[in-house]
Amino acid sequence: MKVLCFSSFTFAYLDRARVLFATLRRHHPDWRLVALITDHPPPGVEIDLSAEAFDQVVWFEDLDIPGGRSWLFGHDVVEACTAVKGPFLLKAATEQPVDAVLYLDPDTALLNDLDPLIGMLGQHDGLLTPHLLAPETTLEGILDNERSVARTGVFNLGFLAIRTRGDGLRMAQWWNDRLLAFCHDDIPEGLFVDQRWCDQIPAFFPGFGIVRDPGYNVASWNLSHRRIRFGADGSAYANDAPLRFWHFTKLGPVGEGMTRRYARDNVEVYEIWNWYKRQIALYRDPRIPERWWYWGQYADGRPVAREDRLRYRRDPELQRRFPDPFATGPDSYRAWLDTQHG
């Protein structure tokens, strides 16, 4: 089976993406690896992407999304990097000579091969991993994990796999359409970027399967039910299943705090986290600011406030009047905002 695997990120996450693609290349040298980048490097920083572990770079501009810069302006960095997953998934499924397309978040890393997933795709047109595989047994777990899933979605879209046929292809078209119009972080309106939409996939697309193996998508939110251990040969296991990939979400105090809360005395968890942090340090480029995003600022360098994005996104007249909202100077959206702020 010919497989394409991609990840969507900005240059601020290049270190994480490098770890992901290095582990993918180690375990699956025959897969086509694609970096989907909605960004440009910081001024004066040259990065030789041809030397990276991925085979191809696809830029936001390559997706030919209707509205282009106007559409992009209506999204913050998380919304943008998740919204473009739909257009690229559809593009890959319809234009690339592959049998399957996989997506992995840039802050994941393989600890084993994903061959069993490919086997599952022989029986299903697509695969999803739930955040949780078992009910929580403590009030703390219910509040942290089950309640969070109720807000953000049953399935974690840090992973997705489809066949380029049947329900896989139909889902790609549906998801593309939904993400182009509604990939917003707006929990009160029932939206959490790409995830809440996918709660409907088992009803809409019966060819999809649900991966219930605890070795996939291990993360802080499911550690209360996944005991990690190492075998005699150093291989990692989750509940005695080979540990396939880990999702190192919110690397830093938040993610590590939640991991400690649920790993407790499972010291192997901390060994894996420490290994990942060493890998990140190895691949970090100190020239890239921690929160760099080219599309996070106007043409004159001033940051784009979230309220400016929301105002523009919700007003078709502003979109018509200012087709390039990143521009500055006379007759620009930025100049118009200055008059409104008085």
pLDDT of residue 279: 97
Q: Please report the DSSP string for 194-254 in residue order.
A: TTGGGGGHHHH-TTEEE---TTSSB-GGGGGG--EEE-TTS-EEETTEE--EEE-TTTTHH
Are the C-beta atoms of residues 27 and 53 closer than 8 Å to each other? no
Is residue 342 scored above 70 in pLDDT? no
| Strand ranges of the sheet holding 32-37, from the earlier edge strand across to the other edge | 56-59, 32-37, 3-9, 100-104, 159-163, 126-128, 208-210
As a whole number of angstroms, the distance between CA 161 and CA 44 comes to 37
Burial label, 240 (beta-carbon count in 10 A; 0-12, 13-18, 19+): exposed
Q: Give me the chain's average pLDDT, please.
A: 95
Q: Tens digits of per-residue pLDDT, 99-138?
A: 999 999 999 999 999 999 999 999 999 999 999 999 988 8
Residue 244, φ and ψ in degrees, nearest 5: -85, -55
Smallest Cα–Cα separation from 6: which of 29, 31, 36? 36
As a whole number of angstroms, the distance between CA 104 and CA 34 comes to 11
**Every domain of the chain and the residues it spans:** 3-283, 298-341
Considering the entire predicted model, what is its pTM? 0.94
Q: Tens digits of per-residue pLDDT, 233-275?
A: 999 999 999 999 999 987 777 778 888 888 899 999 999 999 9
- Cα 51 to its chain centre, rounded Å, is 23
pLDDT of residue 253: 78
Q: Tens digits of per-residue pLDDT, 146-180?
A: 898 899 999 999 999 999 999 999 999 999 999 99
Q: Which two tokens stand for residue 58?
A: 């696809």
Q: How confident is the model at residue 70 (pLDDT cuts 50, 70, 90)?
A: very high
- Sign of the alpha-carbon dihedral angle for 177, 180, 186, 188: negative
| Strand ranges of the sheet holding 236-238, from the earlier edge strand across to the other edge | 228-230, 236-238, 241-242
- Type and span of the H or E element at 316: helix 316-321
User: Who contacts 179 (Cβ-Cβ below 8 Å, separation ≥6)?
Assistant: 82, 83, 84, 85, 86, 87, 194, 197
Residue with tokens 């992995």: 104
Q: Does domain 3-283 have CATH number 3.90.550.10?
A: yes
What are the CA-CA distances from residue 80 to residues 75, 85, 296 (Å)? Answer: 5, 9, 11
As a whole number of angstroms, the distance between CA 221 and CA 218 comes to 8
Q: Which residue has the higher pLDDT, 15 or 149?
A: 15
